[in-house]
Chain A
Amino acid sequence: MFRLIKDTLGSQCVTLWRVFMHAFAKTDTVEYPDVQPQMAARWRGRIILSRDPDGEERCVACNLCAVACPVDCIALQKAEDEEGRWYPEFFRINFSRCIMCGFCEEACPTNAIQLTPDFEMAEYVRQDMVWEKEDLLINGTGKYHDYNFYRIAGKKIAGKDKGEARNEEAPVNVRSLLP
């Protein structure tokens, strides 16, 4: 009998008291339009295309992001400029399809495509959700400040020959190695 009362009324009273004490706890709600929420730096929001420290586009139009994208929302076309650098002729992200999974960022070999903490992307017209390269490109380097693909990779471009990249040794003349 005592146990029954303890198990029914007793534990219920403890529950009631504990829930009541929550009245004096701080509310978790952030009143969003009035107060901007503190977004984590790693939040996966609006996608941007970053530039390298020299101010050139990082994207080399390798298409890996478009391949990795599970909803096929990225479309781009490769082009090559007179310096020998590859760049996207157009780069188009359909944000009405994008699920902000971040696979494109992981796939990118040049840290060009990055996700940012911005999430305010609502539009009235669906077509406005399609962003072109001009909309996606930012002026800064994004999360990786020192990375410069063409200064590290062995690819030859105007003003940087083979062997002149950072930590790269000059090409070996294989014929000199012959016995």
Chain B
Amino acid sequence: MSFEVGSALSIGAILFTVIIVAAMLIWVERRLLGLWQERLGPNRVGPFGLLQVVADMIKIFTKEDWVPPFADKFSFILAPPIIMVVILLSFSVIPFAPGVGVIDSDIGVLFVLAMASLGAYSVMLGGLSSNNKYALLGSLRAAAQMVSYEVFMGISLLGVVALAGSFNLREIVLSQSDGWFIIPQFVGFVIFLIAGIAESHRLPFDIPEAEQEIVAGYHTEYSGMKFGMFFVGEYLGVVLVSSLMVVLFFGGWLGPAFLPPIVWFVLKASFFIAFFVLLRAAIPRPRYDQLMNYGWLFLLPLSLLNLVLTGAYILWQEGL
């Protein structure tokens, strides 16, 4: 059994690592939030509180797994695994390092975007089947937010695709060997970052699950491991968006040779995960209409402009 793209070892290692990392983010986020709020965060269970995740898992697995009698049982149970499955599927096209990956797809970028769109079904079904006003409001918001931010999430990536000349994420990384795409595609990066936060509905765009307004949004009625799947799904989304940013704009595994490629990838992705937590610690939530206005009236034209300018630049480079 060799360690190459698509081998069972590679797939198993990636699946295991990604899920463990997503679970550990519960602890990482709480510690980092504590750091930035001049607190300590969980530090009692195990060294540095690392076993807090284990305690949380034991708790969430032993919770009563309850389906409300007024809920639509089938879609209520169906909703949480969807978000886990689609995000884990998105990881299949991510090139972590040379030889580490699940599949070398020529439609990698499109596949990720498609899976992100399917993720909207999870929150829609979850909110709708809960038969609860807050859950319905949350899922309405989530659906509108995800659909509208997907539009220019895709468009912001087209600049990168045009520069690299490929939808294959591995080739996109390789084409950055003489310069990361963050420099020519800075606007695209900012738009993708904002859209990525909105797609994974993390703060400041956690409007679908805004606790202060609508209890917990679409997963109000969920408990036990079904809630846990939404929860881990959110963290998986954070890891996915961070990995995508690294792959698309920061040269993936590329870096000075004194560290192995996978370490460079992990370092860069960790940076963005920490940045996500910093966003949560720092920035308050916008109003819902502000979010939609900002998306459609500002980011969409900006991403189109970015695409046009990138195209013009490429044509100018080729001398028409």
Q: What chain B residues lie within 8 Å of A8 (beta carbons)?
A: 294, 298
Q: Counting CB contacts under 8 A, is B107 at the interface?
A: no
Number of interface residues of A (CB under 8 A): 17
Q: Is B308 an interface residue (CB 8 A)?
A: no
Interface residues of A (CB under 8 A from B): 4, 8-9, 12, 15-16, 18-20, 22-23, 25-29, 31
Give the chain A neighbours of B26 by CB distance below 8 A. Answer: none
Q: Which 4 pairs between the two chains have the least Cβ-Cβ distance? A: A19-B282, A29-B40, A15-B282, A16-B282
**Cα–Cα distance between A28 and B36 once the two chains are bound (Å):** 11
A20 → B minimal CB distance (Å): 6
Q: Mark B9-51, 1 if CB is under 8 A from A, else 0.
A: 0000000000000000000000000111111100000000000
Asked if B281 is at the interface (CB within 8 A of a chain A CB), the reply is yes
Instruction: Judge if B279 is at the interface, Cβ distance under 8 Å.
Output: yes
Chain A residues with CB under 8 Å of B281's CB are 19
Q: Is the CB of A22 within 8 A of B37?
A: yes
Contact B282 A27 (CB under 8 A): no
A-chain residues with CB within 8 Å of residue B190 when the two chains form the complex: 9
Q: Which residues of A contact B282 (CB under 8 A)?
A: 12, 15-16, 18-20
Q: Is B278 an interface residue (CB 8 A)?
A: yes
If A9-B190, A15-B282 touch, does A27 touch B36 (CB 8 Å cutoff)? no
Please tell me if the beta carbons of B38 and A16 are within 8 angstroms of each other in the complex.
no
CB-CB under 8 A from B37, the residues of chain A are: 22
Considering the chains assembled together, what is the distance between the CA atoms of A19 and B39 in angstroms?
Answer: 13
| Given A4-B298, A8-B294, A9-B190; A16-B36 close (CB under 8 Å) | no
Residues from chain A with Cβ under 8 Å of B35 in the complex:
22-23, 27
Residue of B nearest to A33 (CB): B44
The answer for the CA separation of A176 and B37 in the assembled complex, in Å, is 77
Q: Which of B178-200 contact A (CB under 8 A)?
A: 190
- B38 / chain A contacts, CB cutoff of 8 Å: 22, 25-29
Residues of B within 8 A of A9 (CB): 190
A177 to B61, CA, bound (A): 91
Verify if B283 is at the interface (C-beta below 8 Å from A).
yes
Cα A56 to Cα B282 in complex, Å, equals: 59
A-B contacts, 8 listed (Cβ < 8 Å): A8-B298, A12-B282, A15-B283, A16-B283, A18-B282, A19-B281, A22-B35, A27-B40
- B36/A19 in contact, CB under 8 A: yes
Q: What distance in Å separates the Cβ of A11 from its nearest Cβ neighbour in chain B?
A: 10
Rounded to whole angstroms, the CA-CA distance of A23 and B37 in the bound complex is 8
**What's the least CB distance linking B148 to chain A, in Å?**
17
How many Å lie between the Cα of A18 and that of B281 in the bound state?
A: 11
A27 vs B34: C-alpha distance in the bound complex, in angstroms?
9
Cα–Cα distance between A25 and B34 once the two chains are bound (Å)? 11
Q: Which residue of A lies closest to B40 (CB)?
A: A29
Q: Is A28's CB under 8 angstroms from B39's CB?
A: yes
Q: Which residues of the partner chain A approach B283 to less than 8 Å between Cβ atoms?
A: 12, 15-16
CA distance A25 to B40 in the complex (A): 12
Give complex CA distance A16, B40 in Å.
19
CB-nearest residue of chain A to B290: A8
Q: Which residues of B contact A25 (CB under 8 A)?
A: 38
Distance in angstroms between the alpha carbons of A162 and B12 in the assembled complex: 95
- Would you give the 0/1 interface string for B122-163, flagging 1 where the beta carbon is closer than 8 Å to chain A? 000000000000000000000000000000000000000000
Residue of A nearest to B32 (CB): A23
Knowing A4-B298, A8-B294, A9-B190 are in contact, say whether A16-B279 is a contact too (CB < 8 A): yes
Roughly how many angstroms separate A65 CA and B38 CA in the complex, as a whole number? 41
| A28–chain B nearest beta-carbon distance, Å | 5
B279 (CB) vs chain A CBs: closest residue: A16
Q: Which residues of A contact B278 (CB under 8 A)?
A: 16, 19-20
Question: Of all chain A residues, which has the CB nearest B275?
Answer: A16
Q: Residue on B with the closest CB to A19?
A: B282
With a cutoff of 8 Å between Cβ atoms, the chain B residues found around residue A23 in the complex are 35-36
- Closest CB-CB distance, A60 to chain B, in whole Å? 48
Chain B 275-319 near chain A by CB (<8 Å), digits 1 or 0: 000110111000000000010001000000000000000000000
